[in-house]
Amino acid sequence: MAFFRTINFSEPLPLIEGEGVVLRMPQITDFEEWAALREASRDFLTPWEPTWPDDDLTRGAFRRRIKRYAEDLRSDHGYAFLIARHTDGALLGGLTLANIRRGVAQAGSLGYWVGLPFIRHGYMTAAVRAVIPFAFSSLRLHRVEAACIPTNNASIRLLEKTGFVREGFAREYLCINGTWQDHLLYARLKDAPKQS
């Protein structure tokens, strides 16, 4: 059993390619496109995310976000990706493998968001399918967990379509949009059957 990551992070994370999407590390040069997509998607994303700080869409806040991502990468606590469309590089959303736990757990948590103009096109399904081999092979995780609000039917369908299995229910699990929300708990194991 591996107790430590096995890839070298003195260099940036590799590109991860999926069906029609590319996952890559966020860069400061992504700020304008990222901020525009988040602003255009604010009303759509708000019910499913933690409350946005007042300065969330500023260059300074984005710079701090990039710095935190780099620290998480160096410490093996998290891996953040932006999702881009393969054909033209358009920014579609983001995905993270966070809360990485080593030792006997070898687990991490999956989080994701997609911009409003890009919902229902299969991009997030492709991104999750693409990141799973990275999580299990490159990072040597045994388990990837995810949680979603019980009324988030799109997220439930996404998780189930990509091989995650519902394992439980957590009361007031995360503070979403300013309120402690119940969540359904899902996980995918390394040796789970592949989904088509």
Q: How much is the pLDDT for 10?
A: 55
Q: How much is the pLDDT for 148?
A: 96
Tokens for 134, please give them.
């990275």
Q: How much is the pLDDT for 1?
A: 41
Closest CA to 111 of 163, 148, 143, 141: 148
What distance in Å separates the CA atoms of residue 12 and residue 157, rounded to the nearest whole number? 32
Task: Yes or no: say if 180 and 149 are a contact pair by the CB < 8 Å rule.
Answer: no
What distance in Å separates the CA atoms of residue 17 and residue 103, rounded to the nearest whole number? 29
What distance in Å separates the CA atoms of residue 29 and residue 46, rounded to the nearest whole number? 25
Q: How much is the pLDDT for 54?
A: 94
CB-side neighbour CA atoms (13 Å) of 40: 15
Task: Yes or no: say if 184 and 166 are a contact pair by the CB < 8 Å rule.
Answer: yes
CA distances from 99 to 77, 96, 144, 164 (A): 6, 10, 10, 18
Name the 3-class secondary structure at 86. Answer: coil
Q: How much is the pLDDT for 13?
A: 74
Q: How much is the pLDDT for 14?
A: 81
What distance in Å separates the CA atoms of residue 159 and residue 132, rounded to the nearest whole number? 12
Tokens for 111, please give them.
């989080």
What distance in Å separates the CA atoms of residue 193 and residue 38, rounded to the nearest whole number? 34
**pLDDT (tens place) for every residue of the chain, 196 residues total:** 445 555 555 556 789 999 999 999 999 999 999 999 999 999 999 999 999 999 999 999 999 999 999 999 999 999 999 999 999 999 999 999 999 999 999 999 999 999 999 999 999 999 999 999 999 999 999 999 999 999 999 999 999 999 999 999 999 999 999 999 999 999 999 987 665 5
Residue extents of the structural domains in the chain? 16-141
Domain 16-141 belongs in CATH node 1.10.540.10: no
Q: What is the DSSP string of 120-173?
A: TSSHHHHHHHHHHHIIIIIS--SEEEEEE-TT-HHHHHHHHHTT-EEEEEEEEE
